[in-house]
């Protein structure tokens, strides 16, 4: 399916809160992990479509700092699934010249997954056709606090002065310092909140919600979100 929107009207960066995998599986009397597996396939399909349309940056909320509260067997299964998915998709990322970026407190995740992530980041570092960011063990509050700690250390070491700290300079210390803020946030499953995701970065992002669970999200849904975005007038606090 092609999208009849001029490139200047398309969002350059779309962020996704992929909600509803577990409920999708439970509705079908399946284990929750089956919903997460189906959701991983949707990430692959939606990424291919979006990059084909010319959307350069995609960011997916894969695992939050709060998700550790889930049952241990589900967390372990999610970590294994992330490892499998990154390994499975790496050849496609390399072929399509897509760079992988991972944000979050990566040091807290299992060593085998850290090794996989670092390997694929290295293998895709020269990608120039798009950036796929995975938020893993990520929280918006963590991101802001982490940036504050980096700034405080630089002030302490005399590298910057207090008067140098402003919104533009603060941006350099957050995890997405090297990519633009999202133009559009899509959240599935009928929930209307941002759940500690990209709190700094979403200041002026357009929001789009659907009742569909993530495993049912498809090309038509992405098209409708982009069409809706194209009709909006972004003011960024102005008139």
Gap between the Cα atoms of 219 and 48, Å rounded: 10
Q: Catalytic residue at 126? A: no
Q: Which position among 4, 19, 181, 183 bears the catalytic label?
A: 19
- Matching residue, tokens 């500690």: 196
In this structure, are residues 182 and 202 in contact, taking their beta carbons and an 8 Å threshold? yes
Q: Is residue 43 packed enough to be buried (19+ CB in 10 Å), middle (13-18) or exposed (0-12)? A: buried
Looking only at the bridges linking them, the beta strands covering 206-209 and 184-187 are parallel
Q: Catalytic residue at 96? A: no
- Name the CA radius of gyration of the chain, rounded: 18
- Matching residue, tokens 């893993």: 136
Q: Which position among 8, 21, 67, 111 bears the catalytic label?
A: 67
Gap between the Cα atoms of 62 and 112, Å rounded: 17
Give the catalytic positions in this structure.
19, 67
């Amino acid at each position: 399916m092609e999208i009849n929107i001029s490139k200047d009207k398309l969002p350059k960066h779309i962020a996704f809160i992929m909600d509803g995998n577990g409920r999708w599986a439970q509705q079908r009397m399946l284990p929750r992990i089956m919903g997460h597996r189906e959701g991983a396939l949707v990430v692959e399909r939606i990424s291919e479509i979006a990059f084909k349309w010319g959307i350069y940056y995609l960011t997916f909320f894969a695992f939050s700092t709060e998700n550790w509260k889930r049952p241990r067997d589900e967390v372990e299964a999610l970590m294994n699934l992330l490892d499998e998915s990154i390994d499975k998709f790496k050849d496609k990322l390399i072929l399509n010249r897509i760079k992988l970026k991972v944000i979050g407190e990566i040091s807290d995740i299992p060593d085998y997954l850290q090794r996989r992530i670092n390997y694929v980041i290295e293998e895709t570092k020269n990608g120039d056709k798009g950036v796929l960011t995975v938020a893993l063990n990520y929280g918006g509050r963590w991101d802001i606090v982490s940036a504050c700690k980096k700034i405080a250390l630089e002030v302490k070491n005399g590298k910057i002065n207090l008067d140098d700290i402003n919104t533009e300079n603060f941006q350099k210390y957050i995890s997405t310092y090297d990519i633009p803020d999202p133009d559009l946030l899509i959240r599935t499953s009928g929930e209307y909140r941002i759940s500690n995701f990209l709190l700094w970065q979403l200041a002026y992002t357009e929001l789009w919600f659907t009742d569909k669970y993530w495993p049912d999200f498809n090309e038509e849904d992405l098209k409708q979100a982009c069409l809706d975005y194209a009709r909006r007038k972004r003011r960024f606090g102005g008139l």
